[in-house]
Amino acid sequence: MVQLMSASVFGHAAEPIVVDVWSDVVCPFCYLGHAILEEAVERFPHGSAVQIRYHSFQLNPGFAVGDAILADDYLTKQYGMPKSQFEASHAQLSARGAQAGLDYRFETTLMVNTLDAHRMIHLAKAHGQELPMVDRLFKAEFTEGLNLADHAVLADLAVELGLDRADAVKALETQAYEQDIRADLAQARQLGISGVPFFVFDNKRAVSGAQPAEMFRKALDITWQDRATQST
């Protein structure tokens, strides 16, 4: 469902159309939503006029920094979910993901505290590599089973995207971009976001969850129509 936002968060929207996305890199629905949104933008006739901006969100902010355990073990321990329950969910997500070109491998997916991964997204953003970094972190988490709490792993991923290893290591060691991350989290609270992914189109309409591409296309169409109306 495309929801109308009740108040302005970012102020008057300027060109291009902006889609603000709150997500976490250990959220499998966020990976799917990310892929479906990108597909919707690519197929949108005015896709070149759309800018996607990512904002930090933490599903498990209390998870110990630096620790890593299998996500399935975490779900079992934290929520008492029987294995059959999350295996059914995994199967459904894997099927939807495959349709979007994603390769979920839940048996090796790790649960970590994602603060440092979010630092890498903000570092990449400063170098014009925000979306490639988001893509790379999701793939590392859900296909490759990499430990996104490991600074060496994160620095390797930064280097893959052409970023300087020294800059990545410094950002991790000095806990850089903390203010930016906290601002993202504060905006999420202001909007009442309790789950991700969460998408805001031009600061007016919201879509929650990994919705079908048609829902994102509808939001883009309506947003474009709003722009056309404003310009007349």
> What pLDDT, in 10s, does the model give residues 57-107?
999 999 999 999 999 999 898 888 888 888 899 999 999 999 999 999 999
Count of structural domains within the chain: 1
What CATH number is associated with residue 33? Answer: 3.40.30.10
The Cβ of residue 184 has, within 10 Å, a number of other Cβ atoms equal to: 20
Token pair for 172 = 């991790």
Residue 142 lies in a domain: yes
The domain in which residue 21 lies consists of 2-68+112-230
DSSP assigned state of 156: H
According to DSSP, the residues that pair with 27 across neighbouring strands are none
Q: 12 falls in which pLDDT band (50, 70, 90)?
A: very low
Whole-number Å distance between alpha carbons of 142 and 24 = 12
Which residue blocks in 100-177 are alpha helix, DSSP H?
115-126, 130-142, 151-160, 165-173
Contact 30, 59 (CB under 8 A): no
Residue 119 lies in a domain: yes
Q: Which residues contact 151 (CB under 8 A, 6 or more apart)?
A: 116, 169, 172, 173
Residue 4 pLDDT greater than 60, yes or no: no
Residue 58 lies in a domain: yes
Residue 83 lies in a domain: no
What is the side-by-side strand order in the sheet with 2-4?
A: 2-4, 205-208, 198-201, 17-23, 50-56
Q: What number of CA atoms fall less than 13 Å from residue 25's CA on the CB side?
A: 30
**Percent of the chain whose pLDDT exceeds 90:** 84
Please tell me the predicted confidence (pLDDT) of residue 11.
40
Give, rounded to a whole angstrom, the gap between the first and last alpha carbons of the chain: 28
Please tell me the predicted confidence (pLDDT) of residue 85.
85
Whole-number Å distance between alpha carbons of 144 and 211 = 25
Q: 8 falls in which pLDDT band (50, 70, 90)?
A: very low
State phi, psi for 150 to the nearest 5 degrees: -85, 120
The Cβ of residue 13 has, within 10 Å, a number of other Cβ atoms equal to: 17
Residue 99 lies in a domain: no
Token pair for 25 = 């890199």
Please tell me the predicted confidence (pLDDT) of residue 5.
54
Residue 7 pLDDT greater than 50, yes or no: no
Give just the sign of the alpha carbon dihedral 44, 47, 51, 54: positive
Residue 76 lies in a domain: no
Residue 103 lies in a domain: no
Residue 12 lies in a domain: yes
Whole-number Å distance between alpha carbons of 125 and 45 = 25
**Percent of the chain whose pLDDT exceeds 70:** 93
